[in-house]
Structure 1
Amino acid sequence: MKDKIWLSSPHMGGNELKYVHEAFDNNWVAPLGPNVNGFEQDLEKFLNTDVKIAALSAGTAALHLALIECGVGYGDEVICQSMTFSASANPIAYQGAIPVFVDSEIDTWNMCPVALGEAIRDRFAKGKKPKAIIVVHLYGMPAKMDEILAVAKEFDIPVIEDAAEALGSIYKGKACGTFGRFGVLSFNGNKIITTSGGGALVCHTQEDKDKAVFLSTQARDNAPHYQHSHIGYNYRMSNICAGIGRGQMEVLKDRIQARREMTQFYIDLFANIEGINVFTEPSTDFYSNHWLAAITIEAGKVGKTREDLRLALLEDNIESRPLWKPMHLQPVFKNAVYYGENVAEDLFNNGLCLPSGSNLTDVEKERIKESIVTLFN
């Protein structure tokens, strides 16, 4: 069997081990140390705005802490983009809160501002004021943040940006993850850079960061003994993982360029096949890191379905994946309220993510091309 071509595999830069060895040499293996501080500073500099970063064990942990800092508790409602990975919605349940899902719009595949407004007005009419709004920058594509923030401001509801897939993406000259009350980043193994497992909370004040660090280190009070006045969590990033992150930050710009080139590869590949649309920016206001290249297939025009292509690639040991199944269609959230139409559902039924790794070789790209051309010819 041919070697597997992965959807998005880790890509080391070369200097990760230098920082890891420094941690071992100095016995800094705990969830604090020079690499944690350095990684946070590297991220703050990269985001190029006045933010404070708390490095954590996962993006999910960051989202959970953001909800806590926004005051979300048992029985509260939180509006969440439906088309996303489950980690965007699960922390709502951690807090005993209730998710309210909102459809996407077709330009960016992200939260529809019109449906968002309709959802909030209806919740108000039912005597409910949502405590927070979770918007996702799907596959690295920035959401329509101006419109979403305008709706949020009208109703005085804080926005949490799930930018787990969007490190390096930019909306109107500003980094994704820096628009909302909080932003969330992920460094999972398949992300554009990785710390093996890890994430970060993007804060706008030192007070918010300090609270996140306090909660993420078991909320230990300032006392000579172990005293706790709040429920805490074991969410802080280790100095070892942060060392990997520091090495990855040195090559982040190269990784973004390589991912964007993969999307251009697919644009060129599908240019003469009517009915296959490559997911790309709707205007120059949007700059995507194109973490994952994605397409939609109009089966009536092409004569092939999303599943036909996925199975053809699988036969050649090439990994691809349907778009995220919307949260309001997931069994675990079957009783959740949903606002919108069928945009997210249609995208799921007709969309496919294609191999996008920054470490794909020319030989692997040729294999991908041959497999696709063979199917459609």
Structure 2
Amino acid sequence: MGSEDNVLTFSAIRGVQAGREYYGAMCPLRVVAKFFVFDEEEVGAELRAQRSINRSRVPELTRYIVENPKDYIFSSITASIDGNVEFKPFEANGAGKNLGKLSVPMTSRFLVNDGQHRRAAIEEAVKERPELGDETISVVFFHDAGLRRSQQMFSDLNRHAIRPTKSLGILYDHRDPLSQLARHVVDEVSFFAVLTETEKTTISNRTNKLHTLSSIYQATRTLLGKSKRSKVAAHEKDLAVSFWEETGKLIPDWGLAVDKKVACAELRRDFIHAHGIALQALGGMGASLLADDPSGWKRRLKPIAKIDWSRKNGEVWEGRALVRGKISKALTNVVLTTNYLKQQLGLSLSAAEQQQEAKLQQYKPSER
């Protein structure tokens, strides 16, 4: 990539989509930070509204680059160019006819169709670590005179983008200590090793899985009282594994599912313990138990074995884990389900938890 006579020049590959040429190029980060901006007053209000940046996301992306200079990775940015673009191929015919130099006047406007948060993070990262400016990111350029097609391009790119599931993100995230913890728990806890769905965040009736990796992640984070991306000590990993292993022993149906003596679909149909709300509540109850009795928690955990987890047990679960007979993942229901488990273990409720209990009694006056 070079610049002379107020022209930016990129080594590029030419392609065709929908009968229009587009170009792929490697662009230095300093160029992305400097030129991939536009004067909002010159761009229509509708375009600006669609492209408003969520500034709260930028610092996290910036830290990702700055803290991982040897192994960060960004996918391509897609940008529209409003200017007199010129592509000169290296060869008139053959394979080289689509390889060449792309020249763009510096007076052109570069409007980012996909990757605005990446662009903003790159700008901040280059300010903090100027040496990053010579590194590159792949950019797909579309020539769009007057930027007339950009609004539709933005809509099309985002409508058809598919985000990975939470479970898959946890499975593949090797930087986040809590993701590492969740994978460790799944590997080491005998019940989870067999019964965990590691890719999807929902479980179909045809699968032989009972829990999702994302549910175990959240429940274990709650158990240990960890904030996002907190570090996890070795003894905390051991404690989490021990807690879930002991808990699994007190829910016999989990063992039956491991031994294939009962179908997971039947458990999810008939029991609360086969759903994410139960894991989350067990994690919340466990956090209180570990704080209340760090040395005798295993003995104190035993009443879990006497709980009737059946969805038919509406006297207990309606209003807590169930709303009109259906599982509810709402925060209030997680709190109320946690409350019940804590009560079975003789653990005290906080003022906020007691307040939720009072509201439940209003919802279920027949129990008063």
Q: Scaled by the length of structure 2, what TM-score is found?
A: 0.20
Larger Rg over CA atoms:
2
Higher RCO by CA contacts (8 Å cutoff, separation 6 or greater): 1
Greater percentage in helix: 2
